[in-house]
Amino acid sequence: MPTLLSVNVNRIALLRNSRDHGWTPDLFALSRLILEAGAHGITIHPRPDERHIRASDVSPLAKIVAEFPHAEFNIEGNPEHNLLPLIAANRPHQATFVPDSTTQRTSDHGYSPDHARTITPLIADAKKSAKRVSIFVDADFASIDAAKAAGADRIELYTEPYAESLHNGTFEKTLKQFADAAAHARSIGLGVNAGHDLNLENLPSFVNAVQPDEVSIGHALIADALTFGMAGCVKRYLEAVQG
């Protein structure tokens, strides 16, 4: 199965929110453009302080995604904060649980095995509204096993260590770690997503070795769109996920 590309549009919302009027760039028009260019989905990560995605953005975005039969809507965030009501109200294709704090600027770790075991009821709750639930984990077998035990359908591998490995001399070792983690997840019946600091440079090698079901890319893609234009940038990333 080919790897699918879900575009995280948080950075568009962050730029919009840097001005008090809050209408440009147009989050909704650009999300539609991203899907028209061929992306397979839209990801959002609302946080309680609404620094980028606002609660009022979620329903309009869900309706835009619904215009595209090939596309999926992924709502991610901490289920112990503000996530579950948004999932219940908007019924996304996928809910992704991320163990971030209210003060984090960006996600920087996955669920530990002990923490993953505590969210079993929250996963069950999310499954009432989302087609599947994925949880954000580091590339280690214990965390993956805990995700399975907690009731997750998929994992999302936290890929910053892989991105850093291209610059610190650990590339081959780290890539194998991720490939082994993905193979283990699939062996116990979990789907495999991946995200964080993936870009045009490091994506092809990752996809070839790990073969994830889906990658979620935001910061790098939105930054590259300043050079290539949004539609052109999406097409470059679609080529990259082909390996």
Just list the catalytic residues: 45, 76, 196
CA distance 49 to 203: 31
Q: Name the one residue in this structure whose structure tokens are 């092809």.
A: 204
As beta bridge partners, residue 137 has 157
Helices (H), the chain: 10-17, 27-36, 55-66, 83-90, 113-118, 120-126, 141-150, 160-168, 171-187, 203-210, 219-228, 230-240
- Angstrom distances, CA of residue 189 to CA of 5, 137, 144, 152: 21, 16, 11, 10
As beta bridge partners, residue 41 has 6, 72
Q: Give helix 10-17 / helix 219-228 axis angle, nearest 10°.
A: 70
DSSP 9-25: -HHHHHHHHTSTT--SS
As beta bridge partners, residue 156 has 136, 193
